[in-house]
Structure 1
Amino acid sequence: MMLIEETAPAAEALPVAALRAHLRLAQGFEGPDDAAETAALAGFLRAAIATIEGRTGKVLLKRRFRMQLDDWRDRLGQSLPLAPVHSVERIEIDDGNGTLTQLPPEGWRLVPDGQRPVILPTRVVLPSIPRRGTVTITFLAGFGDAWSQVPADLAQAVILLAARYYDDRSQDGLRHALPFGVSALIERWRAVRTLAGRGSREWR
């Protein structure tokens, strides 16, 4: 499986003001409210968001992703590795010789489960993938476009983790371990995920 993030969280959606307020309240932070500081705090927030999303499989701010598989995991239904999924924009099959075929929307449907969204065939099974071919699924995932739409515990986990990254900015090696408070906040969102396909060709 190859998963590509096609769009990044919008800069204006990042909770820079909330992080700045947290740093001032918790640590006596007195940095200037200038462009350089804003850019630095945004960078810590993006790193924290990426970490939380990686640990939970939940996309905080809505954006577009593209997943490529060399075969379906199961032709009875293909799960998606991220949640929540708002929509699947298109599904394309490449026959391995450069010919793309877009699957008609009436041939499949999205079940937008909060933990394991899945694409189901409207008939019996999803269409077969040529032996040297691939299937690409383009979809939109995320809780919303605005930070206010992110669940409160995940939003707080991002702020706490970004503040830790700010504290440890000169010690990059410390970023590998999550603080206990952050781990506790995201625990209920964590799920055991099966990501890529496990078709016969994947195991050869």
Structure 2
Amino acid sequence: MMLTEETPVPSGALPVEELKDHLRMGSGFADDGMQDGLIETYLRAALAAIEGRIGKMLFQRRFLWVLECWRDEEQALPVAPVSAIVSVTLVDAAGGEVLVPATAYRLVPDLHRPRLAGKGTSLPTIPSEGLAKIVFDAGFGAAWTDIPVDLRQAVLLLAGEFYEHRHDDGAQAAGLPFGVVTLIERWRTVRILGGGRK
């Protein structure tokens, strides 16, 4: 299985100014904006760390998921929340592709474990030695304010930690800060049986 992000978070959507306020960086000086690139880097790193920990995409974007077999009658999707299944394509051993009609499958929405299911029947059979390509949209929304407030605060805290300790020699303890862990704990997905249905 392989999950690929097809549409990255645009720079304009990132809360650069909000993080600068959080860090109490000065404003009104000639060098305003000099740190923006660095701050964006730490915001992206914080987003990736939190998304990886909770199994949820914060900003909405498009993903391509490739897998060789269905795990069950309904296939749990690798991240949440999923707003739409864009397409399902079956690929045979020779590389030939067949687009599955949208009438043959449906999204079973769930905040923690959304699933792809057949519509009125089971999921279409993946060819022998072939694979399935699933394109879907996942995330809370396109804007920073679409993300739940506790997750936004966790991103700012973690990005702030990255920025404040950017010159550390690695002696600091590994792992997420306690405040970040506390904020994201309720959003964590408990995976049972390797990602199968709950």
Q: Answer 1 or 2: which has greater helix percent.
A: 1
Corresponding residue for residue 30 of structure 1: 26
Residue 148 (1) aligns with residue 138 (2)? no
Q: Trace 1:1-204 onto structure 2 (pairs within 5 A).
A: 1-24=1-24, 29-30=25-26, 34-74=32-72, 76-171=73-168, 173=170, 174=172, 176-193=174-191
Q: Is the 8 A contact 1:79 1:195 kept in 2?
A: no
Change (3 A) 1:195 1:17: farther
**Counterpart-to-counterpart distance in 2, 1:166 and 1:175:** 16
Q: CA deviation at 1:197?
A: 7.8
Change (3 A) 1:197 1:133: farther
1:63-110 residue CA offsets vs partner (Å, 9 max, x unmatched): 111110011111x11111111111111000100101001111000100
Q: What letter is aligned with 2:26?
A: E
**Please, which runs of 5 or more residues in structure 1 have no aligned partner?**
199-204
Q: Is the 8 A contact 1:72 1:197 kept in 2?
A: no
Q: CA deviation at 1:39?
A: 1.1
Change (3 A) 1:121 1:95: same
Change (3 A) 1:130 1:186: same
Aligned CA RMSD, in angstroms, stands at 2.0
Change (3 A) 1:196 1:135: farther
**Counterpart-to-counterpart distance in 2, 1:61 and 1:195:** 28
**Please, which runs of 5 or more residues in structure 2 have no aligned partner?**
none
**Counterpart-to-counterpart distance in 2, 1:172 and 1:39:** 22
Q: Is the 8 A contact 1:165 1:175 kept in 2?
A: no
TM-score (norm 1): 0.88
Q: CA deviation at 1:167?
A: 1.2
How many residues are paired up? 193
Change (3 A) 1:121 1:69: same
Q: What letter is aligned with 2:10?
A: A
TM-score (norm 2): 0.91
**Counterpart-to-counterpart distance in 2, 1:50 and 1:39:** 17
